[in-house]
């Protein structure tokens, strides 16, 4: 299979996923017990008031009509209006997006900066102190929940040694601790992949050839092996970036950062159905798109993958 065909197939899968998600979200919201209009109106609303709310929500129309108007507006990147603030959901999301994206980006950078050198060292010096240190680190990274790490980092670096702010947002200093808490758990995963990839590359035949050619050990390990080992590492880091968006919801809560996660949570607390609906579709779309990009990038870096 050539690249163009692979790209097309992958693109079709992306579109199918997006279609599936928006359909599922639409129906789940409507199937769950409880009329949004009743929730918004409160218990002592008159039938007339409830009807009026239904009309503004569009829930008085037949289901099929609602579905097509929802899908139609999605095609125009319109996620409807927030029930609470009456502002377009898309606008609210785009306002909060930069913060969450920079948090996730900083987090993945920190994760890679910790994980890649340690993973390479673990693979090159197998069963050494560094390898055991790496193993312990990745166990800890997986066991320690990021939101608790965030609280502990605040305790140490904002309360005990006040070098970082305890509350607030807006500067880079406000992002360091949250990004560190997010990056730590991701580093554990990236570390394992780096080690495994490095070990695998070092066992391959071209490494033996390179050594037989008389290349220095340094050149063999850090130029030949590392270059190839980075392919899966970059792929995994890309997927981890998507996961960061999920993790950011909790971390933003811990550090009181006004990002996408906070917006989403506020929507849930206030039972703002259109905001939840739009938020889910948006995040799912971003996530699927990242996966799509990662797959394409991977097949470009490693042409053999498209053959499968």
Q: Is 42 left (phi over 0), alpha (psi -120 to 50) or beta?
A: left
Nearer to another protein, 144 or 234 (CB): 144
| Angstrom distance (rounded) from CA 276 to CA 274 | 5
> Quick check: 183 and 283 in contact, CB under 8 A?
no
Window contacting another protein (CB under 8 A); options: 63-71, 88-96, 211-219, 243-251: 243-251
CB 214 to another protein: min, Å: 27
Site for another protein in 165-224 (CB under 8 A): 166, 199, 203
| Angstrom distance (rounded) from CA 269 to CA 265 | 6
CB 242 to another protein: min, Å: 7
| Angstrom distance (rounded) from CA 230 to CA 115 | 12
Q: Is 143 in the site for another protein (CB under 8 A)?
A: yes
> Quick check: 193 and 236 in contact, CB under 8 A?
yes
Q: Which of 52, 60, 291, 293 binds another protein (CB under 8 A)?
A: 291
Q: Is 147 in the site for another protein (CB under 8 A)?
A: yes
Q: Is 22 in the site for another protein (CB under 8 A)?
A: no
Q: Is 66 in the site for another protein (CB under 8 A)?
A: no
Minimal CA–CA distance to 221: which of 129, 125, 132? 125
Binding residues with another protein: total (CB under 8 A): 46
Nearer to another protein, 38 or 55 (CB): 38
> Quick check: 138 and 123 in contact, CB under 8 A?
no
> Quick check: 1 and 307 in contact, CB under 8 A?
yes
Q: Which of 246, 300, 302, 303 binds another protein (CB under 8 A)?
A: 246
Contacts of residue 266, defined as CB under 8 A and 6 or more positions apart, other chains included, come to 272, 275
Q: Which of 287, 298, 299, 306 binds another protein (CB under 8 A)?
A: 287
> Quick check: 213 and 172 in contact, CB under 8 A?
no
Q: What does the binding site for another protein look like in residue numbers (CB under 8 A)? A: 17, 20-21, 28-29, 32, 127, 135, 139-140, 142-145, 147-148, 151-152, 154-155, 158-159, 166, 199, 203, 242-243, 245-247, 249-250, 253-254, 264-265, 267-269, 276, 280, 283-284, 287-288, 291
């Amino acid at each position: 299979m050539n690249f163009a065909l692979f790209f097309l197939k992958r693109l079709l899968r992306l579109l199918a996923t997006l279609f599936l998600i928006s359909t599922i979200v639409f129906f789940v919201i409507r199937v769950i017990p409880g009329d949004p209009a009743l929730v918004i109106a409160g218990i002592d609303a008159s039938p007339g008031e409830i009807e009026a709310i239904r009309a503004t929500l569009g829930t008085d129309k037949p289901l099929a009509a609602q579905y097509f108007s929802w899908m139609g507006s999605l095609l125009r990147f319109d996620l409807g209006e927030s029930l609470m603030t009456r502002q377009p959901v898309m606008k609210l999301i785009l306002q909060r997006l930069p913060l969450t994206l920079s948090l996730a980006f900083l987090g993945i950078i920190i994760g890679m900066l910790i994980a890649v050198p340690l993973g390479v060292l673990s693979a090159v010096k197998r069963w050494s102190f560094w390898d055991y240190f790496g193993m312990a680190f990745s166990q800890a990274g997986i066991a320690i929940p990021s939101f608790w790490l965030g609280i502990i980092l605040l305790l140490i670096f904002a309360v005990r040694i006040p070098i970082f702010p305890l509350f607030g947002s807006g500067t880079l200093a406000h992002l360091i601790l949250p990004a560190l808490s997010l990056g730590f758990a991701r580093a554990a995963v990236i570390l394992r992949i780096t080690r495994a990839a490095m070990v695998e590359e070092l066992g391959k035949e071209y490494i033996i050839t390179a050594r037989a050619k008389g290349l220095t050990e340094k050149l063999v390990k850090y130029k030949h092996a590392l270059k190839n080992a980075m392919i899966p590492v970059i792929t995994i880091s890309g997927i981890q970036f998507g996961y960061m968006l999920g993790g950011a919801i909790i971390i933003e809560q811990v550090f009181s950062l006004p990002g996408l996660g906070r917006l989403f949570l506020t929507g849930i607390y206030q039972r703002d159905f259109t905001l939840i609906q739009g938020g889910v579709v948006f995040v799912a779309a971003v996530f699927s798109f990242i996966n799509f990009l990662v797959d394409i990038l991977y097949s470009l870096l490693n042409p053999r993958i498209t053959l499968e």
